[in-house]
Amino acid sequence: MSTKERVIIDTDPGVDDVMALFFTLAHENIIVEGITTVMGNNNDLDILARNACKVLELCPGNLSVPVYKGSSKPLKTEYIGQRGMECHGKNGLGNISIEEPKNLHLIVKDVPAEQFIVDTCTKYPKEVTILALGTHTNLAKAILLQPDLKNYVKRIYCMGGSFLYKGNVSPVAEANIYDDPDAAKIVFQSGIEITMAPLDVTAQAHLDPTFRDEIRTLGKIGQFIYDISQHYVDKIVEWGIPINLLPIHDSCAVMAFVCPEVFTEVARLRVEVETLGEFSRGQTIADWSNVWKKEPQTTILLKLDQKKFKEYYLSKLSQLVQRGIHS
C-alpha cells in the first residue's frame, strides 16, 4: 500500500483490538479519520473510549485522533458480551493498572459514532475504508441513518464470523457477529464490499510465547501489549486452547488491508447472517455453491502465511517505536 488511505477504525478496545490499533497507527500512509467505539469486549463506552485514548497517548507524538462513542447495546437485544469481558478483563486491558490518559479531550461528546461515520464517508466519497474490529452495531446504525452509504464507503475490512471452523461463543457463531447478528445482517445486505477475516483464518495467526517475547522487546508499546495480553493468555489457556495456538483476531482484518499478500487463499462469495435460528443465531453462512444466485459481496480470507504475518507485524510495530526514538 503506497498511496495515502483514509480509514475509520470501529473497535471495542480489548487486547487484540489494541494490537490492531497500534498496527494500523504504525502505517504513516494511513490517515485515521477517527476511532469509533462499540460494545463487545465491554459495554462501558467510557472504558472503551479511554482505552482508545491510551493507545493514542502511547504512540510517538501522542497522536491526535478523535474518538467517538458508539453503541453500548445491540440493535434489538441486551448486551450479551460478558464472555469477552471475562477474556479481556473488566477494563479491557487485561486488568492491569494503567494511568488515566491525559488526552481524554480527544473524546468527542456531542457526535455519536454513526453520525461521524456518515459525515466522514459523505465528505470523502469512496475514499474511506472502515476497519470493523468489533460488533457491527455502529455500522448498521450508520446505514439506517444513510441508506445509500454503499455509495460512499470504499470498503469494509472486518474481523468476524466462522465458516468451516467452529464458533467461539456457540457451536457455529463468532463473538462479533453473535453479539449483534441483526446489525451484521444489515451490513452484509447493505451492498458495501466486504473483506472478512473469520475464525477460519484468525485461528492461524498465533500469539505464541516466542511472538509475545519478540513484541515485548519493542519499547514501551511492546511492553504494554505484553502486559495487557497476559490475562488473555491465561484465560484462553484455561478454556482449553494450547498456549502456542492463541489467536490474534483483529490484526488479521487490518493485515488484509495493508498487506493482502500475507493471505494465500481467499474466496469471493455471498455471505448472509442468521438472526432467527434457535441453535444457529449469529452464524455466518457462505453460499459456496451459488444456490442463492445472489451477487457475491464478500472476500473471505481462508489461509495465511504465519511467518509473513509475524514478520510484517513486527516490522511495522518496530517502525512505530523507532519513530518515537528519532522524533
Domain holding 40: CATH number? 3.90.245.10
Q: Is residue 227 among the annotated active site residues?
A: no
DSSP 247: B
DSSP 317: H
CB 210 within 8 A of CB 105: no
Active-site residue identified among 10, 12, 16, 182: 12
Measured at the CA of 259, the angle between CA 253 and CA 264, to 5 degrees, comes to: 85
Q: Report, as ranges of residue numbers, the positions in the chain whose pLDDT lies below 70.
A: 1-2, 324-327
Q: What is the pLDDT of residue 327?
A: 46
Region at 206 (left for phi over 0; alpha for psi -120 to 50; beta for the rest): beta
**Residue 201, all three cell numbers:** 483464518
Q: What is the pLDDT of residue 2?
A: 64
Q: For residue 147, what are the domain limits?
A: 5-326
Q: How far apart are CA 171 and CA 275, in angstroms?
A: 15
Active-site residue identified among 88, 179, 249, 250: 249
Q: What stretches of the chain show up as alpha helix (H) in DSSP? A: 15-25, 45-58, 82-88, 113-123, 137-145, 175-178, 181-188, 199-202, 209-216, 219-238, 250-258, 306-326
Domain total of the chain: 1
**Residue 37, all three cell numbers:** 467505539
Q: What is the pLDDT of residue 325?
A: 65
Q: Is residue 12 among the annotated active site residues?
A: yes
Q: How far apart are CA 94 and CA 87, in angstroms?
A: 8
Give the 3-state secondary structure of residue 27. Answer: coil
Q: How far apart are CA 187 and CA 54, in angstroms?
A: 29
